[in-house]
Amino acid sequence: MTNRTALVTGASRGIGRACAAALARAGARVAVAARTTDALEQLAGEIRALGREAFAVPLDLASPESIKEAAGRVAKDFGRIDILVNNAAITRDGLAMRMKRDDWDAVLNTNLTGAFLMAQQVLPGMVRERWGRIVNIASVVGETGNAGQSNYVASKAGLIGLTKALAREVGSRSITINAVAPGFIETDMTASLPKDLRDKALGNIPLGRFGNADDVAAAVRFLASDEAAYITGHVLDVNGGMYM
């Protein structure tokens, strides 16, 4: 990935942070984006300590203006964006019968529309260069469904559909669009779950353990590499076998 520039959204923690570090170790220049800039600056410093270039950029995926500005800043500093990892996402869980329209809109706007708008920003440059990688972070629940998360599930299922549609649109330009669908991953978001829910989830995983952010990052790094040049429109499950 030497001389490639990667932009990772939601890079301030968890899966996004691990993806940024993995791409940097693979040789890419990495732009890390999120709403919390303090954590981004710390991550950028750690990447620079590895001898790699890093650039922190504020990004709010709920804002089309913020998306356009962030992509423009990265392109100005690094010249172009070769790899996009659409990782940033939010949850606002609740039963469908009681879900507020604002909670539905917020999740779809960030998780799905935000990812689409990010792709729109980077695709013209990838088409000109006739090379590009977009990796969308979906979720196992986008494949299985999950009670109490109709908005989140819809956004992740939509992201899988978006992946396949874009893959067909730009494949002739040597641009690949793939998705990674994590299962139960140990992050700040999952650490607070009650023990009974964690035990139940663990019982449904054939490998007998929860995943970690590095498991997901390894899949993202592969799909962003030259070795994955003949893979597009694919959903790579990283879930320990909980969904097959």
Tens-place pLDDT, residues 199-233: 888 999 999 999 999 999 999 999 999 999 999 99
Q: Parallel, antiparallel, or unpaired: how do β-strands 5-9 and 211-212 relate?
A: unpaired
pTM of the entire predicted model:
0.96
* CATH code linked to domain 5-238: 3.40.50.720
- The two three-digit tokens of residue 106, written as one number: 């917020």
200 or 241: which carries more pLDDT confidence?
241
- CA 171, distance to chain mean position in Å, is 20
Summarised one tens digit per residue, pLDDT across range 122-153 is 999 999 999 999 999 999 999 999 999 999 99
pLDDT category of residue 196 using cuts at 50, 70 and 90 = confident
Domain layout of the chain by residue ranges: 5-238
Question: In the annotation, is 230 catalytic?
Answer: no
Virtual torsion, Cα 71, 159, 164, 131, nearest 10 deg: 20
Burial class from Cβ neighbours inside 10 Å (0-12, 13-18, 19+) for residue 217 reads buried
Catalytic residue, chosen from 55, 78, 152, 210, is 152
